[in-house]
């Protein structure tokens, strides 16, 4: 059987719960060096696409080149997937049936069409440091808006510190007596709801296990990856989490955003300490997969050296993602607790695009030092800066795309798509087809 891999260029329907959308039908092939095929798939009478199920398919091909010809191949499997545009001659075909047209994508992935074809490891995203800690006039607060608004505005990495209290995991800053932002389950439930309604977005969750040094009565770690399984399952988050084929992924191992989106696995989850990938394989150890610049810095120079993990070799660090910690702090003492809190007075400079101590300068410096920009820009009060959306301007420049959206705290940056009806799907896909055995 021949398989046609279809380039996903514009998708106006929800993704299947299955890993791949597989359809059965016929497809017309255009020949000719300048042929640009357009395939329309419509009128699917089903509520979901399921692997191995046959749906009705009609295909029409238009060729702008008058010298191009059209042939039809029947009873093939059509697999809708975002991926490369290479061309290979398939079984029972001749070289003249190879299509070399380049696809043009119009569907944004994480807010930009250009990201659909990029590896997850080749994109710079804004990370909300201590995302759950939103409490006005509280020293432990790190953000002004809740997680739904953070995601609406374009934040795509969520980091937070958890504590285990009386058998329940909470998001707490240093101590739950200082700032308790609620249970991990309730936070995950809110994230899961947003992800469900935004089928073209990939979100990263980084868990800071603040109790990693605590032991149970038997001397074993009190909190490990296993403690998070229950809130993950109950919140509805589990169905969206991507489980990589390896526990330590290199830059080249990560799939593209388009591939993650088509598979419906749109959450990447890391934990900083006490990982257990044998018990929870989808919760990756952060420091097998990325390193960080110095954590909770008070140095306005924001060095791009390796802060965590210690002892990482140059060769290994070059093959991993990395996060730039850019949250300037001041040290204060509250109720005999010494902690670092955001230096809110300096936010206009810290979250700026240019100048000493700015996020933009750090991003540029890291790019020079490492030959590639940071994958994540961790910031406090992402909405603050010299202008509305300055941290997203920095990320856009690092990604070599144009930031043309406004922030923050009002309209959604990522468009929330309507859910399709149970009896009708409409797909209009501009494709480049690669025939493979």
Q: Tokens standing for 32?
A: 């000719």
Beta bridge partners of 339: 332
CA distance 175 to 157: 23
Sign of the dihedral through C-alpha 65, 69, 72, 77: negative
In the block, which residue shows the tokens 């800066």?
A: 385
Q: How far apart are the first and last CA of the chain?
A: 7
Structural contact between residues 17 and 437, judged by C-beta atoms closer than 8 angstroms: no
**Catalytic sites, residue numbers:** 129, 173
Question: 357 is written with which tokens?
Answer: 């101590």
Tokens, residue 334: 């509250």
The span from the CA of 385 to the CA of 376, in Å, is 18
CA 50/CA 201 separation, integer angstroms: 21
Give every CB contact of residue 314 below 8 A, 6+ residues apart in sequence: none
Count Cβ atoms within 10 A of the Cβ of residue 48 and give its class: 0-12 exposed, 13-18 middle, 19 or more buried: middle
**Widest distance between CA atoms in the chain:** 81
């Amino acid at each position: 059987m021949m398989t046609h891999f279809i380039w996903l260029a514009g998708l106006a329907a929800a993704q299947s719960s299955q890993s791949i959308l597989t359809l059965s039908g016929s497809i017309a092939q255009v020949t000719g060096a300048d042929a640009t095929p357009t395939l329309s798939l419509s009128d699917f009478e089903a509520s979901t696409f399921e692997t191995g199920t046959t749906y009705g398919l009609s295909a029409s091909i238009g060729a702008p080149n008058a010298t191009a010809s059209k042939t039809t191949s029947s009873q093939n499997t059509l697999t809708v997937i975002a991926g490369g545009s290479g061309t290979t001659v398939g079984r029972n075909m001749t070289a003249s049936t190879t299509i070399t047209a380049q696809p043009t994508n119009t569907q944004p992935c994480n807010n930009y069409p250009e990201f659909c074809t990029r590896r997850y490891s080749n994109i710079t995203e804004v990370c909300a440091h201590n995302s759950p800690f939103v409490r006005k006039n509280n020293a432990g607060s790190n953000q002004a808006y809740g997680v739904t608004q953070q995601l609406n505005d374009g934040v795509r990495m969520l980091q937070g510190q958890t504590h285990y209290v009386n058998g329940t995991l909470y998001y707490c800053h240093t101590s739950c007596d200082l700032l308790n932002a609620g249970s991990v389950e309730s936070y995950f439930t809110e994230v899961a709801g947003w992800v469900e309604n935004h089928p073209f977005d990939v979100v990263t969750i980084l868990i800071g296990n603040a109790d990693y040094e605590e032991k149970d009565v038997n001397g074993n770690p009190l909190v490990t990856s296993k403690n998070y399984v229950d809130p993950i399952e109950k919140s509805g988050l589990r169905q969206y989490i991507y489980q990589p084929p390896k526990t330590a992924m290199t830059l080249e191992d990560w799939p593209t955003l388009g591939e993650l989106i088509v598979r419906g696995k749109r959450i990447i989850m890391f934990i900083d300490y006490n990982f257990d990938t044998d018990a929870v394989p989808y919760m990756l150890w952060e420091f097998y997969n990325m390193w960080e610049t110095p954590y909770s810095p008070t140095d306005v120079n924001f060095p791009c050296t390796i802060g965590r993990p210690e002892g990482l070799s140059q060769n290994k660090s070059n093959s991993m993602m990395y996060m730039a910690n850019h949250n300037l702090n001041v040290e204060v003492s509250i109720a005999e607790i010494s902690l670092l809190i955001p230096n809110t007075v300096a936010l206009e400079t810290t979250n700026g695009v240019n100048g000493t101590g700015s996020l933009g300068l750090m991003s540029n410096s890291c790019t020079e030092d490492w030959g590639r920009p940071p994958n994540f820009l961790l910031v406090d009060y992402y909405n603050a800066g010299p202008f509305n959306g300055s941290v997203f301007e920095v990320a856009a420049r690092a990604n070599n795309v144009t930031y043309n959206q406004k922030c923050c705290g009002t309209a959604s940056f990522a468009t929330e798509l309507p859910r399709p009806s149970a009896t009708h799907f409409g797909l209009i896909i501009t494709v480049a087809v690669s025939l493979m055995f």
